[in-house]
Amino acid sequence: MFTGIIEALGHVAAVEELGGDRRMRFAADADLDGVRPGDSIAVNGVCLTATALDAHQFSADLSAETLALTTAGGWTVGRRVNLEQALTAGKPLGGHLVTGHVDGVGHLIERFEDARSWRFRFEAPPDLARYIARKGSICIDGVSLTVNDVEGSRFGVNIIPHTLSQTTLGGLQAGDPVNLEVDVIARYLERLLDSRREVV
């Protein structure tokens, strides 16, 4: 479980093809304090298991499914990424509950300045749009954000200067793909309502 509050930036340091899936090594811009082999780290919102690490780097295996269903399939050496260690008891929950299980890939439609902030408009896959609500939460490339407006499968968010400078979102351009994770509460609520309909 994660919060969507990015703790460090990093980059893809190595990519190794392994019979249909890949092993990647990631270099962090900060120490990976307390991380041990087997721990979870969210990389651009994708929950990965650290299999080997040192003070500033860790390796992870990415399955064929992860490569197919997230932007990870297009990651190459040098790609900048957002990093967050798993939530621990007593850690502030500054964003919202994030699982690191990416629901789909969306795309940035446009970005424009709004005072000192930036407005970003994204398009989500149609099957995810029903989970995105105005003033609800969404995780984009691992970053917890508040939805400002929704129109069909398109939605807007406001990016403050701090978030723009401390995450990879500042480098996004129109057309770029992003990992999306919708609010887990919306998914469970839908399942509960479906179950009640099945019983009636």
Structural domains of the chain in order of their starting residue, each with its CATH number: 8-85 (2.40.30.20), 104-191 (2.40.30.20)
Total number of residues shown for the chain: 200
Nearest alpha-carbon partner for 102 in 62, 56, 157, 153: 62
Nearest alpha-carbon partner for 141 in 54, 79, 190, 53: 79
Angle (CA) 83-4-155 rounded to 5° is: 120
CA distance 66 to 79: 17
Q: For the chain, where are the E strands, in sequence order?
A: 8-18, 21-28, 40-43, 46-49, 52-53, 57-62, 80-85, 104-114, 117-123, 137-140, 143-151, 154-159, 177-182
For the entire predicted model, the pTM comes to: 0.90
Rama region for 161: left / alpha / beta (φ>0; ψ in -120 to 50; rest): alpha
Residue-level pLDDT at 198: 67
Task: Tell me the pLDDT tens digit for each residue of 72-95.
Answer: 999 999 999 999 998 876 676 677
Structure tokens that stand for 15 in this block = 């990519």
Task: Tell me the pLDDT tens digit for each residue of 16-74.
Answer: 999 889 999 999 998 887 888 999 999 999 999 999 898 789 999 999 999 999 999 99
Q: DSSP readout, 46-64?
A: EEEE--EE-SSEEEEEE-H
Please answer whether residues 67 and 75 qualify as being in contact, where contact means their C-beta atoms are separated by less than 8 angstroms. Answer: no
CB-neighbour burial class of residue 28 (10 A; exposed 0-12, middle 13-18, buried 19+): buried
Task: Tell me the pLDDT tens digit for each residue of 139-183.
Answer: 999 999 999 999 999 999 999 999 999 999 999 999 999 999 998
Q: Is the pLDDT of residue 195 over 90?
A: no
CA distance 36 to 54: 9
Q: Is the pLDDT of residue 200 over 60?
A: no
Q: What percent of the chain has pLDDT over 70?
A: 96
